[in-house]
Each structure stands twice: as C-alpha cells, then as structure tokens.
Amino acid sequence: MVHITTRLAAKNVRVVLRLKEDHLTRKTGRVLRIRAKGKIHFFCARIPPALAGGGIASSFLDIRSYRVYTVFVKMRQRFRFYPTPAQASRLAQVFGSCRWAYNTMLRIRTDAYAKGERINYVRSSAIFTELRHATETKWLEEVSSVPTQQSLRHLQVAFQSFFDKRGKYPSFKKKRGKQAAEYTVSGFKYKDGNLSVSQLGKLDVRWSRKFASSPTTVTITKSPAGRYYVTLVLDEVVEHLPKANAEVGIDLGINRLATLSTGERIPNPQHLKSKLKKLARLQRIMSRRKKGSGRKERARIAVAKMQEYIADSRNDYLNKVTTDLVRRFDLIATEDLNVRGMVKNHRLARSISDASFGYFVRMLEYKCEWYGKELVKIDRFFPSSKRCFDCGHIVESLSLSIREWTCPKCGVIHDRDENAAHNILAVGQTVSAQGGRVRRKETSVSKRGVRRTVNQLEHV
C-alpha cells in the first residue's frame, strides 16, 4: 500500500492518500504526478517514519470517497528564547536591516503606484539587490540575505492583500514596534532539540512543548516589551478526536462570552477592563516623561508589558475554552458575526474587541478542521434571538436591553441568549444534514485574488 502526503488546495493541510493495494514504500523525497477523479494532483512523497512503518493504520484518505481520518497540519508553535548580549546586538542589526528593506521598497513602490506604475516582487528584488551592493548601503551585506529577502516577500503579500481589497494599504514599520526576521531552511539548522541560526549560532530556546517534525521556517521576533520569541512552522500529525455524540449551538455575547444550547454559560473575564485603570496609570506616567530619556523608555516598556500580559491572558483563555468545546462536541454551530461592522458602534467597540469574537470563531475553525469535528456558521441575518424556539414565532422587535421575553403566541418565557443558542443549533443541524451552507453565496474571485503563502509570490 503506497502512502503519499499532499497539501489540500485552499487549505493549509496535508493529508495521506490510499492509492492502491501495493507494497508499503519507504522511499522519501520523490515527486509524483497522480491522476485522481480526472484531475492531475501534484504530490510530494515525504513519508513520516510512523506511517512508513505502518504505525497509523487508519490515517488514510480514500481517493474514491475523500474521507479524511488523520491529517498532517501545517502549524506554528512559538517558544521563548533568551539571546546572549552578542546575539541581541546581532539581532538588532538584522531587525534594522529587515525594517530598512521593507520601508525602502514600500516608499519606492508607493512612488511608482502614485505614477500609475506597479512594481512586482521580481522587480523589487532586483532593485533591492542593487541597493545592497551600493557603496552607501554596504552595511546590508553584513547580515544574512535570507531575512531581508523574506521582508520583500511580506511586502508583496501586503500589496496583494490591498489590491484584492482584503486589507489596507501597507504601512511603514516602526523601530519601537514588533520586530521580526524570518529564516527559511537555508538560514537555520535544527537537530535533536538544538536550533542554530545563520550568524547567530545556537539559540537558548525554552522548549515548552514537544513536536515530531522538523521546522520549515523559523521566525525570530522581539516584542515591544523586549521579549524574544522563536516561531517554528511545522508539519505535524494530528489525530482526529473520538466521537462525543453531542452537538451544541453557541450564542456569543459581551456579559457572557458564550451561551450554549445545553444551558451552560461561559463567563467573559474582560481582560482589558480588569486592567484598564492600571494601564491608564502607566500610560499617564509615560506621557509625562521627557522624550528620548531613559525614564521614558522604561515607562514605555512597562506599558508594553501590561499590554502583552492582557493579550496573553485573552489568548490563553480562548484557547482553553475552544479546545474544551471541540473535545466535547462533534457539531458546533455559531453565528457568522460581522465583527468589523459591530466595532463601529463606539459604545460597544471596546467591549467587543476585548471579547475577541473573531478570534474565538477562527480558533474553532482550525481546531475543528484539525480534530475531525464540524463547524457550521449560520447567516448573520438569521433572527436567532427574536425567533421562539418552541413554536417558531418571530417577534417584530427585540432591543438589546431585553434579556428575557415571553412569546406572544405560545406564552413560553425565554432567556434571550439561550433561546438564540437553541435556534442556532437547530439551523446548524439542518445545514449539516443537507450538506449545504447557510451563508449567502459569495461572489467568486479570480486566481489573482486567491490568498497565497509568502513563498508562492515570487513571480506576482
């Protein structure tokens, strides 16, 4: 039986295919073209040891049915590391070179864009090569060319998102903001838990979790608070979770982060609101400090540490909540909220951003995809709160201040959020059974509008 790993189109997921009854291959590094269902697929036969040895007998995708049981997932894992003084000095030089490359090419491409011209990645790379060898910018040759080249690719991604109307126009990177340098496989070496980066040497990384695959990309970042992190891009085997034989509908809110159709209420810790007074005091202290002084810098770091603490607390809480939901339920139904439109309400914008509805749903999306669960997002215009779950009657108006209401037709008293969760689950079950979707049909986009990874944009 031949096993081939591949990456699904439009999904950053690698799966395993069962091709035909044959012998179990142990060869690696081959590239094959295989015709399946009348379409040519491009597969890279990189066989993990566990699969080559037959360790995961059920980790197959049958070409005839396209049923996935176990997938190879491209994921990012971040670890804290502590550079030596020499490494910190070298990293400051690398960060500065990457920032200069990004900002310089952004200025050049902006001037060309104002004249009606468009400079693609290939042209910008050629221009930067000339600048790199110029006498005035000879210092660029002191750092590795890999991270500066990746900065140009990131700039291309930013422009592509802008032209496809998926983002704003690219902005200049700041010295006091988040600093990053990305290395591809030619710029680092990983073996037996030791990570060495070009011109930096071995990094003192705190490996807080285990992983089986070798990283394909390494990104070194420095937060505004002065903390260093290394982010690895990995191809990991993720086994599907066992079936829980349970389904749930979720209604998101501000007072309660989520109300489940089971009656459970998930509290909203309001991470920003609980630290808002302390954060405001630190910001007032920073505003009183003299610009350019050491006290100003220390006050800035104190503010950055508090903001990073709030973000980390929110991220940790949402991760725990979403993981628990994915483990407990096979089908999760939620609303497709227009968060961008919701934050335009200046009275609720801070609370909505603090709750992080969009991040919550995105976590559910990729975790359901990893672990073989189903996520259904119903239409944002479906009247889940105004519809009586018992009789189906829909009231004409229901203000946000009303948390409980009585159905005028059947007389049942409803909790607003719990009733909405029941309706969301009912619609989600219907969509799942029919194999369709409730979201309105979106307009198709051209191939130019398809989102691609950084390293796929060399010739755009």
CA distance 117 to 344: 34
Q: Is 435 exposed, middle or buried (0-12, 13-18, 19+ CB in 10 A)?
A: exposed
Alpha-carbon distances, residue 335 vs 92, 145, 178, 387, 438 (angstroms): 44, 45, 33, 15, 10
CA distance 105 to 111: 10
Catalytic-labelled residue, pool 182, 235, 247, 251: 251
460 Cα distance to chain centroid: 23
CA distance 89 to 83: 9
Known catalytic residue at 251: yes
CB-based contacts of 377-380 (< 8 A; 24+ apart in sequence): 377/333, 377/334, 377/335, 377/336, 377/438, 377/439, 378/333, 378/334, 378/335, 378/336, 378/424, 378/427, 378/428, 378/431, 378/438, 378/439, 379/336, 379/438, 379/439, 379/440, 380/335, 380/336, 380/337, 380/338
Known catalytic residue at 335: yes
CA distance 362 to 364: 5
Catalytic-labelled residue, pool 247, 354, 417, 418: 417
Catalytic-labelled residue, pool 235, 335, 369, 418: 335
* Nearest alpha carbon to residue 164 among 443, 458, 459, 455: 443
Active site amino acids: 251, 335, 417
